[in-house]
Amino acid sequence: MSKEIPYKIYLEENEMPKQWYNVRADMKNKPAPLLNPGTGQPMTAEELEGVFCKELVAQELNNTDAYIDIPEEIRSFYKMYRPSPLVRAYCLEKALGTPAHIYYKFEGNNTSGSHKLNSAIAQAYYAKKQGLKGVTTETGAGQWGTALSMACAYFGLDCEVYMVKVSYEQKPFRREVMRTYGASVTPSPSMKTSVGRKINEEFPGTTGSLGCAISEAVEAAVSKEGYRYVLGSVLSQVLLHQSIIGLETKAALDKYGIKADMIIGCAGGGSNLGGLISPFAGEILRGEANYDILAVEPASCPSLTRGKYLYDFCDTGRVCPLAKMYTLGSSYIPAPNHAGGLRYHGMSSIVSQLYDDKIIRATSVTQTDVFKAAEQFARTEGILPAPESSHAIKVAIDEALKCKESGEAKNIVFGLTGTGYFDMVAYQKYNDGEMENYIPTDEELAESIAKCPKI
């Protein structure tokens, strides 16, 4: 119990989890099912299998099995970049002068630059196993698209990425990473799909949106033989795959006899947060332990802290099933000056239910505070963090400073989801003192929430 704690705790390869953990099995209140927007009835496996891979649909609907085996092929890929380190932030602690012990689980040490690869490789594997030719997806800035390209290259799958046109043109670097991995990247809206052509006709010169790219990717998947659509966040299957983050974190803490007091994660669609907290939330749900779990979201896109728990569309194009989630309304788009990521209008059903049941708390932070924390973290801990991850850093620093006041030596664990190498335009804005904050008004949120379907 009193082993000296290294800067980086690396589990051995044979200590890497062999099963994902499905927190839904331990939830008394299960997340609400996806609904067919036409009928208002729960989506059946058959309906979902037209769009998604068969085995992933089974995982999406599985509310009962607590553990699901990670196939050997996926474990082999994981071994190229996992187990990821749990880092003791000695240098940050020293700079803050806090008695708190700060740990972060670092998921950025792979070419996708984030945790997204954990689910991308799983989804690509099941697509390959089903005998598919390829998969389609959308991407905004390109983090998820990059991860999926890497996964598809590994399994020899075709990968079609619809990239929001403005990002395709203004952020060419991630586009080129995807191309290097053999993906075809199409600026959206395109002329390749009927929905793309329609949007181009109605709004000539449009620079696209994530909602439009989703619609194109879904159409491309369902209209071609041997293709399915895949998604990098929000879905319960994604949180299942991402549970490896939390399981490794727990195993590393246990190995050194450390009991976490607080667990902090940034929250956009919920994939990182859900994965990080799953095993800890499971212990709370089973009455085995208690943790203070905190979701951190941007003040400009505050779905948990200011949204409503309602059925809503998963996409702005309204082609996907309805999900019950904390939402700002599918038409809500963060202000253009919002640079810090985590722009999704809703929150994963699992995270939403855990929040509604008060298993976890949530808070929001402004982006200038986030970049200030990012800068301090970079200068002390060396790693240049992704803006998304820096939401968690900001709150971890605040909590460590509270410990300095109170003298408490809390164990604070947070998720460092990725690196910021492809976010230098946002950093430049901060460095130049030109970054501004945006906090939506109550009226603005009420208006977009009012557009949610009445179910």
Q: Residue 380's Cα: distance from chain center in Å? A: 26
Min dist. Cβ of residue 424 to a second copy (A) = 4
Contact status: 145 vs a second copy (CB under 8 A): no
Min dist. Cβ of residue 96 to a second copy (A) = 15
Q: Per-residue x/- marks for a second copy, 3-32, CB under 8 A?
A: ---xxx-x-xx-------------------
Q: State the Cα–Cα distance between residues 156 and 245, nearest whole angstrom.
A: 26
Give Cα separations from 24 to 117, 119, 278, 348 (angstroms).
Answer: 22, 17, 9, 12
Min dist. Cβ of residue 292 to a second copy (A) = 27
Which of 290, 428, 451, 455: binder of a second copy (CB under 8 A)?
A: 428
For residues 268 and 113, the answer to whether their CB atoms sit within 8 Å is no
Contact status: 223 vs a second copy (CB under 8 A): no
Which of 129, 133, 179, 361: binder of a second copy (CB under 8 A)?
A: 179
Closer by beta carbon to a second copy, 90 or else 438? 90
Contact status: 120 vs a second copy (CB under 8 A): no
Which of 148, 177, 373, 449: binder of a second copy (CB under 8 A)?
A: 177
State the number of binding residues for a second copy (CB under 8 A): 45
Which of 3, 40, 45, 172: binder of a second copy (CB under 8 A)?
A: 172
Q: Segment contacting a second copy (CB under 8 A): 37-45, 227-235, 281-289, 381-389?
A: 381-389
Q: Segment contacting a second copy (CB under 8 A): 128-136, 254-262, 302-310, 378-386?
A: 378-386
Q: Segment contacting a second copy (CB under 8 A): 103-111, 133-141, 194-202, 321-329?
A: 103-111
Contact status: 368 vs a second copy (CB under 8 A): no
Closer by beta carbon to a second copy, 268 or else 418? 418
- Say how many CA atoms lie within 13 Å of 76 toward its Cβ: 7
The Cβ of residue 423 has, within 10 Å, a number of other Cβ atoms equal to 25
Closer by beta carbon to a second copy, 222 or else 378? 378
Which of 69, 169, 176, 201: binder of a second copy (CB under 8 A)?
A: 176
Q: State the Cα–Cα distance between residues 18 and 38, nearest whole angstrom.
A: 39
Contact status: 37 vs a second copy (CB under 8 A): no
Which of 180, 223, 290, 337: binder of a second copy (CB under 8 A)?
A: 180
Min dist. Cβ of residue 432 to a second copy (A) = 9
Min dist. Cβ of residue 420 to a second copy (A) = 9
| Ordered strands of the 134-139 beta sheet | 184-188, 158-164, 134-139, 227-229
Q: State the Cα–Cα distance between residues 199 and 189, nearest whole angstrom.
A: 7
Min dist. Cβ of residue 8 to a second copy (A) = 7
Site residues (CB under 8 A) for a second copy? 6-8, 10, 12-13, 76-77, 79-81, 87, 90-91, 109-111, 113, 150, 153-154, 172-173, 176-177, 179-182, 374-375, 378-384, 419, 421-422, 424, 427-428, 431
